Structure 1
Amino acid sequence: MGKVETNKKQKNTTLLQTSFELFTEKGFTKTTISDIVNRAGLAKGTFYLYFKDKYDLRDRLVTYKTSQLFGNAHTALIEQNIQGFENQMFFVIDHIIDRLEKEPKLLQFISKNLSWGIFKNAFEKTVPENSRQFYDYYQDMLTQNHISCENQELMLFTILELVGSTCYSCILYQQPVSMEEYLPYLHQTIRQIFITFTKPMAD
């Protein structure tokens, strides 16, 4: 990557990181583009080189943060060399839950703004690149473990919707119980989702 491209990437990352700080401090509505560029130390015109408006920035920021979550979980999964589809999926889920417990502001921001369309973007736009690797790996895990799933995307959507709503209630509000208390029940429910969507491949 040349110096110009590196500089552009740094400015884009700075705008994303600065906007996350402001959105979680002041709220999305109260944060202006001027607030973002002033804190980032960049010209206002620079903002429009990367984003159409504040809403475009928000959607890309959700994509960026979601990608980081799954990218980091995927990296840890490879490092730990976890075997078996169910074990691999639970490792990824628990890794993400642990991160969200440590960063409640991140959980609140993603939960408020994440839609399935934006979530899919997190993989299709590869921000960062290893997020796409996770989605490919998810599909590969099914194949390598000889599991047939007619709708891989729908199964992932169902699991993530459940995990997302559970984290929001149990982590942010400790309702109806803490995440630690609820986790065994969450695992049991996800196992049932696996059973519903999958079956062993025929020899």
Structure 2
Amino acid sequence: MNKGSVFVEETVNKRSRIQDAAIALFHEQGVEGTSVNEIVKRANVAKGTFYVYYKDKKELISQILTKQHGCLMNDILNRSYETAKAQHTCWKRTFIDELISYYIQHPKLLRTVQKNIASILDTKEHRNMVFTHIERMPDFLRLLQRENESEKKALNRFLMLMEIIGFVCYNAIFFEQPDSIEEILPELRETMFKMLERKE
């Protein structure tokens, strides 16, 4: 292995260790409760190394959540597609059900996403980074697209859907607002499905 390859491998390794350490600490004590010092100590890298790869903790959070959110959406879209195909049901409906179910089963991740949603979707660049991880996004957007409608409008509807479901689930699970998640679940599912229905 030449020196260039070793350098690249070491760079990837250090960045990966920093991200893995940050994810573990975020789950253990929350994003706000985790400092850069704690991250570099857990990752076993120098503090200066952290700033080689990230401007600050906010940039690290943004990159981690962008990737995680993209991978999560990819898994849910793939799983919902396979379920819809196997059961001969509507892909849009199974996607909504899968997303809501995932948030109910993973409340810690939901809380992290909701508290940092602005970092995930704050710029077109970040949104595009999320979508690079979602293989079936073009297919799903075509499904959402209405007659004589641009792909951008279908994309906006998809983004609104994700934000609404995340926001409603977060408030229902953690604060029982407007009610418990069990109580609002049927209405949430139907409301979101109607939002995605074609209106030719």
- Length, aligned pairs only: 191
What one-letter code is carried by the residue in structure 1 that aligns with 2:178? P
Deviation at 1:24, TM superposition (A): 3.8
Match of 1:76 in 2: 79
1:171 to 164, 168, 173: 173
Matches within 5 A, 1:26-45: 26-45=29-48
SS of 1:199's partner is coil
Matches within 5 A, 1:97-136: 97-115=100-118, 117-118=121-122, 121=125, 123-126=127-130, 129-131=132-134, 133-136=135-138
Match of 1:96 in 2: 99
Residues of 1 paired with 2:58 and 2:9: CA distance? 25
Match of 2:50 in 1: 47
The alignment's TM-score, normalised by the length of structure 2, stands at: 0.77
What one-letter code is carried by the residue in structure 1 that aligns with 2:160? T
Matched, 1:187 2:183: no
SS of 1:186's partner is helix
Structure 2, unaligned runs of 5 or more: none
Tell me if structure 1 keeps the 8 A contact 2:18–2:39: yes
SS of 1:31's partner is coil
Match of 1:152 in 2: 154
Q: Deviations over 1:135-194 (max 9, x none)?
A: 323223246xx7554411221132122201111012223333332332210122123323
Tell me if structure 2 keeps the 8 A contact 1:111–1:168: yes
- Percent identity at matched positions? 26
Residues of 2 paired with 1:93 and 1:14: CA distance? 34
The alignment's TM-score, normalised by the length of structure 1, stands at: 0.76
RMSD: 3.0
Tell me if structure 1 keeps the 8 A contact 2:81–2:94: no
What one-letter code is carried by the residue in structure 2 that aligns with 1:46? T
Structure 1, unaligned runs of 5 or more: none
Deviation at 1:30, TM superposition (A): 3.6
Tell me if structure 2 keeps the 8 A contact 1:19–1:36: yes
User: Does the C-alpha gap of structure 1 residues 90 and 41 become closer, same or farther in structure 2, counting only changes over 3 Å?
Assistant: farther
Tell me if structure 1 keeps the 8 A contact 2:81–2:91: no
1:138 to 135, 140, 156: 140
Tell me if structure 1 keeps the 8 A contact 2:103–2:166: no
What one-letter code is carried by the residue in structure 1 that aligns with 2:159? F
Judge which range, 117-126 or 53-62, deviates more. Answer: 117-126
